[in-house]
Amino acid sequence: MAERPIVIYGDPVLREVTQPVGEIDREVKDLVSDMVDTLKSARGLGLAASQVGAAKRLFIVDLTAIDVNGSLKVFINPEIVETEGEIEMEEGCLSFPDMYLKITRPERVKVRATDLDGNRFEMSADGVSARAILHEYDHTQGKLFVDYLSPLARTLIRGRLRKLAAAS
């Protein structure tokens, strides 16, 4: 299909709680196809629909760049069923170019969603896969990875965030 521009921090769509996807029609399939092209071009691990300006409750995760056994997964109307543990790791976001921050998240996650063929599925993930799922799920809720920072850490990056917001 085609790449779409990635929405940068400061755009209000990133703070929107997304709308559930109803029918998985041509529009949704085209959106996912565009998201795949966009993600591959950006060399990211995940992308939420809101990051390309569509406030729909869906995201994709593609760990093939770091895991030869990985595959691209589509999560439509995802729900986090449970989380377990806690781990701090460096994390980035395509909507925050060149910004990498240490973020604490659950170590394991169980998620329920629908795939592009309309099949409901449930999967468990840990490590980078869990982190990517949780990060992209947050986008569907209007939450950003900088929201996990302490007030002090947020103060330290305030100038960088202002520059991003001004450029968007």
Strand partners, 121: 113
Q: Which letter does DSSP use for residue 136 in this model?
A: H
End-to-end, the C-alpha distance of the chain in Å comes to 25
Spatial separation of the C-alpha atoms in residues 11 and 89, rounded to whole Å: 26
Spatial separation of the C-alpha atoms in residues 154 and 149, rounded to whole Å: 6
Strand partners, 122: 112
Which one is catalytic: 23, 88, 91, 136? 136
Which strand (E) or helix (H) includes residue 146?
none
Residue with structure tokens 């063929």? 117
Q: Is there a catalytic annotation at residue 23?
A: no
151 contact partners, CB below 8 Å, separation of at least 6: none
Active site residues: 136
